[in-house]
Structure 1
C-alpha cells in the first residue's frame, strides 16, 4: 500500500502540471536574481587557479597540498550535485536557495579570514556545497516558470553563466593578485551574494510540486567514491604534465575505483526508479532528445575545458606568456559567449535548436583545426582568432543544447534532469582536460626522449592534442541532425524513445 501511495504521489504532478503561458515581472526578476547568484558562485570554481602560487608561498605548503583548494572544490561539487535532483523535489524553492547561499556565504567568510591552509580549504569545501546546489535549482526553476516559447531566450542567460563565469575566474584572479591581497578574492563577492539574497527574499517564490520521498542512504554513499573519485582522478591525471613532468599514474587507479562505484550507483538507481525512489532518476535518458543532447553537451564541455587547459600550457611553455597575458587572450571570447547568450536563445525560440546549432558545431570544428596550426612563432592575434572562433561556436551550441536537454523532459523529471546535466558538465570538463593533457604529455615526452628540443616537443604535444580534439568534434557534428527542430513543439509532451 505504501509503495502504491508513493507512485501515486509521484504521478500526481504530471497530471496537474501545465506549461505557463506568460512570465510575470516578479518571476522574471527572480530568475535574474538566481542567475546573478549562480554567476558569482560558479565564478569561484576557477578563481583559485592563478592565486595558488601566492597562497602556497604565504602558507608554506607544497603544490601537492595547495592544489586541493581547486580539487577539493571540484570534488565536493561532483558529490553534491547528483543529490540535488532529490533535494529540489523534497525542499521548497526558497528554502533550498537560502541553504545554498548560506553555505556559500559561510564558506566565503571562513576563507577570507582563514589563519591557515586548513581553514581556507574548509571554506572552499563549504563554498562548493552552495555552488553545487544553485545550478540545478536555477535550471529547474526556469523550466517551471518560463513559457515554452521563451525558454531558449532564458536558457541563453544560463548559458552565459556557465560559459563566462569559469573563464573569467583566472582573469579576475590575476588582476586581483597583482594589485591586492588574495583575501580580496573572497571579500569582493560577499556584497553581491548578500544583495542577491535580499532581492530573492522579496521576489523568489516557491515553485513546482514537492514529493517527500525517503532518501536512499546507499545511493548517497555511492556518490562519494563514484562521482568524487572519478572526477578527482580525471582532474589530476595530467597534474605532472602541467608542471613539465609525466602523467600521474596513481590517478588511473583512482579512476578505476570510481568507475566501479559509479556502475554500482547506476545499477542502484535503475533498481529504485520503478518505485520512484531513485536519488538521481536516470529515466531521463529514455527521452531521445535528452540522451542525444547529452552526447553533444559532453563533447562541447570537454572541448571548452580542454582548451582552457591546453592554451595556458602552450602559452607558458612555447610562447613564454605570463598568466595575465593568457587571461586577457581568453577574455574576449568569454565576453562574446556571454553577450550572445540571449540573442542565440531568441533564435532558438524562433527557429528551433537544430538550425541554431549547425553554425555552432561548424565554428567549433574550424576553431580547433585552426589551433592545430599553433607553433613556436604563432602571433597573439592568431591565437585570439582561434579562441574567439571557438567561443562563438560554443555560444551557438550551449544555449540550444540546454533548451533541448531540459525541454525534452516531463515536469516530474525536470529536477533530476538538471542534476544530470550539471553532473555531466563536471565529469565531461574533467575528462576533456585529462584526455587532452594526456595526449600532450605523451607526445611531448616521447619526442623529448628521442632527443628533440624541449620547445619542439611541447609544440608537437599541443598540436597532437588539438588534432584529436578537432577530429572528435568534426566527427560528432552529424549528431546535430538528430536534435529536434522547431516543428517538435513542446518537447515535454514527447514520449521516451
Structure 2
C-alpha cells in the first residue's frame, strides 16, 4: 500500500504542479498559451487512451509487473522533464509520466478491492482519497514556491527521489494479488477505444483552448469521430465472448449512480481548480505562490476529510454523506459566482474550503458504494470504466469552464467603451469567472438530483456483517 500511495501521490501531484508554471514556461520557451496548454492536454489524452485498456492489462500482467512498468515510465518521464531543454522534449516526457499514472491508478483501486473486505473498503478508499485529493491541492503551492526561488525544473527534481523510493519499496514488498485470466487481445477494440476516448478528450481540450472554439471543424470532427468510435466499441464489446472492457458493469444500478457522481465531481473540481487560481492571478493581481497558498487550506482539509468520510461510509452508508456534500458544494459555488476583485482573501479561502469538504463527502462514498456492487470478476472493468470517465469528465469540465470564461469576457469587452483599459479587463475577467462558477453550481445541482436515488449496497455475509440496504 505504501508503494502504491507514494507513487499515486507523485502521479497526481504532477497533474497539477505544472499548471502554475505555465505562464513561466511561456516566457522561457517562447510559446503561446494554446501551445503551453498541450502539456496538460497531452497528459489527459494519454490517460484517456491508456486507462480503458487497463482493465485488460490487469488480467494479463501480475501486480508486480504492472507496478514496476508504471514506475519505470514515471521515473523516465520525470528525469527527462527535469532536464528538458525544449518544449517538445518536455511534452514527450509528460506523455511518459501520464503512461505511468495511467497504469498505476487502476492498479491501485483494483488492489484495494481485492485485499480489503467490503466492510473495511470505505476507510481504505478514504486513504486513497487523501492521496488523490491532497496531491493536486499542494501541487500549485509547492510549484509556486519552487518557481519563485529556483526554476520550474525543480518541480520534477523534487518528485524523482520519491518515485525511486516507491519503486524500491515495491520491488521488496509488493505481492501479486490479482488473478490472471489472459483474455484474447482484440486489436479492433483497442483501436476503437483509443480513437473514441482520445477523440472526445482531444475535441473538448481543443475547444477549451479558446483559439478554435466550439464551432471549429476540428473540434466538431474530433468529438463526432470519438462518439461514433465509442458506439462501435460498445456494440463490439457486447457481441464478444471475452470483451476488452466488460460493459456488464452497467447492469448494476448503484455502480451507474456512483459513476454519475464521480463524473460530476471531476467536472466541478477540475473546472474550479483552473478558474479560481486564474482569477486570483489575472483578476486580483496575486502572485502564483500566493494563489497556490490560498488554495492550500481547502486542499489539506479535503485530504484529511477523505479517510474520515470513508469510515463514516462504512458505518452509515452513502446517502447521509453524498446529499449534504452536494448541497454544500452547490452553495459554495453559488457564493463563488459573486466573487469580485474587492472580495477578501479570507472569503475565498472559506468558500474554496467548503467546496473541498463537500467534494470529500461525495467522492469516496459514491465510488466505494458503486464498486462494492460489482462481483469480484468485474473489478478490473469497473475500475477501468470509472478511471476512464474521470479523465473524460476532466477534459469536458475544463473545456466548458474555459469557454464560458472566454465568452463572458468577450461579451463584456465588446460592449465596453475602452476594452484596453486594465480595469475593464479585470471587470471582464470577473464576469467571465462568475459565469464559470455558475456552470459548476448547475453541475452540482444535477448531481444532487441523481443523489436521491443512491442506496447502500448489500454487503455479503462473508464480510462478517449483516446485509444492509
Alignment TM-score, normalising by the size of structure 2: 0.91
What are the residue-to-residue correspondences of 1:454-493 with 2, within 5 Å? 454-485=425-456, 488-490=458-460
CA displacement, residues 287-315 of structure 1 (integer Å, 9 cap, x when unaligned): 10011111111111111111012212322
Number of the residue aligned with 1:109: 79
Question: Out of 357, 365, 379, which is 1:392 matched to?
Answer: 357
Q: Is 1:182 equivalent to 2:157 in the alignment?
A: no
Equivalent residue for 1:225, pick from 195, 201, 206: 195
Q: Indicate whether 1:39 and 2:9 are aligned.
A: yes
CA gap of 1:454–1:178, structure 2 versus 1, over 3 A, is: closer
Question: Is structure 2 residue 411 aligned with structure 1 residue 440?
Answer: no
1:180-259 equivalent positions in 2, closer than 5 A: 180-240=150-210, 248-249=213-214, 253-254=218-219, 256-259=221-224
Does the aligned pair in 1 maintain the 2:237–2:245 contact within 8 Å? Answer: no
C-alpha distance in 1 between matches for 2:159 and 2:461: 38
Q: Any gaps of 5 or more consecutive residues in structure 1?
A: 1-30, 241-245
Whether the 8 Å contact between 2:193 and 2:229 is mirrored in structure 1 is no
CA distance in 1: counterparts of 2:224 and 2:127, whole angstroms: 33
Matches within 5 A, 1:252-291: 253-254=218-219, 256-291=221-256
Is the 1:234–1:431 contact (alpha carbons within 8 Å) kept by the matching residues of 2? yes
Residue 15 of structure 1: aligned partner: none
2:421 alignment partner in structure 1:
none
How far does residue 335 in structure 1 lie from its aligned partner after superposition? 0.5
Q: CA deviation at 1:155?
A: 0.6
Contact between 2:14 and 2:139, CA under 8 Å: does it hold in 1? yes
1:219–1:265 contact (8 Å) kept in structure 2: no
Note the alpha carbon deviations across 1:65-87, whole angstroms, 9 max, x for none.
33322222221111111110100
Q: Does the CA-based 8 Å contact 2:319-2:451 persist in structure 1?
A: yes
Q: 1:400 deviation in Å?
A: 0.2
Which residue of the partner structure matches residue 327 of structure 2? 362
Q: Secondary structure at the match of 1:123?
A: helix
CA deviation vs aligned residue, 1:332-364 (integer Å, no higher than 9, x gap):
111111111111110000001112212211211
Q: Does 1:373 find its partner at 2:338?
A: yes
Unpaired runs of at least 5, structure 2: 418-423, 464-469
Q: Does 1:411 align with 2:401?
A: no
Find the counterpart in structure 2 of residue 337 from structure 1.
302
**Structure 1 residue 279 displacement after superposition:** 2.0
**2:319 & 2:165 partners in 1: Cα distance?**
38
> What is aligned with 2:62?
92
Query: Displacement, 1:274?
Result: 4.5
Distance 2:28 2:462 in 1: 53
Distance 2:273 2:462 in 1: 34
How many angstroms does 1:251 deviate by? 5.9
Provide, for residues 193-250 of structure 1, a one-character-per-residue CA deviation record: whole Å limited to 9, x for no partner. Answer: 111111112221111211112221112222333222321232232323xxxxx66357
Give the Cα separation in 2 of the matches to 1:137 and 1:324: 34
Q: Tell me the alpha carbon deviations over residues 46-79 of structure 1, each in whole angstroms, 9 at most, x when there is no partner.
A: 2222223333433444444333222222211111
CA distance in 2, matches of 1:432, 1:67: 15
Question: Post-superposition shift, 1:192?
Answer: 1.0
Alpha-carbon spacing, 1:319–1:60, altered in 2? closer, same or farther (3 Å): closer
- The SS at the match of 1:437 is helix
| C-alpha distance in 1 between matches for 2:351 and 2:374 | 35
Aligned length: 457
Name 1:305's counterpart in structure 2.
270
Preserved CA contact (<8 Å) 2:275 2:401? yes
Pairwise CA distance, 1:127: 1.3
2:439, 2:154 → 1: CA distance? 39
| More off after superposition, 65-74 vs 282-291 | 65-74
In structure 2, C-alpha distance between the alignment counterparts of 1:43 and 1:252, rounded to whole Å: 34
Contact 2:137 2:300 in 1 (8 A): no
- How far apart in 2 are the matches of 1:408 and 1:206? 24
After superposition, the C-alpha distances for 1:78-137 in whole angstroms (9 at most, x for unaligned) are 111111010001111110110101111111122222333332222221111111010001
| In 2: Cα distance, 1:115 partner to 1:455 partner | 35
Specify whether residues 490 and 302 from structure 1 end up closer, same or farther in structure 2 by C-alpha distance, changes over 3 A only. Answer: farther
**Matched residue SS, 2:7:** helix
Alignment CA distance shift 1:216-1:152 (3 Å):
same
> Quick one: structure 1 residues 441 and 492, their matched pair in 2 at CA, closer, same or farther if it must change by over 3 Å?
farther
Preserved contact between residue 354 and residue 485 of structure 1 (Cα < 8 Å):
yes
What does residue 431 of structure 1 align with?
396
State the distance in 1 between where 2:220 and 2:15 align: 21
Q: Is the 8 A contact 2:58 2:178 kept in 1?
A: no
Please report the TM-score for the alignment, with normalisation by the length of structure 1: 0.87
8 Å contact 1:360–1:396 — kept in the other structure? Answer: yes
Aligned 1:74-85 pairs, distance under 5 A: 74-85=44-55
Cα 1:116–1:456 shift into 2, 3 Å: closer
Cα separation, 1, equivalents of 2:220 and 2:387: 20
Distance in 1 (alpha carbons) for counterparts of 2:337 and 2:198: 33
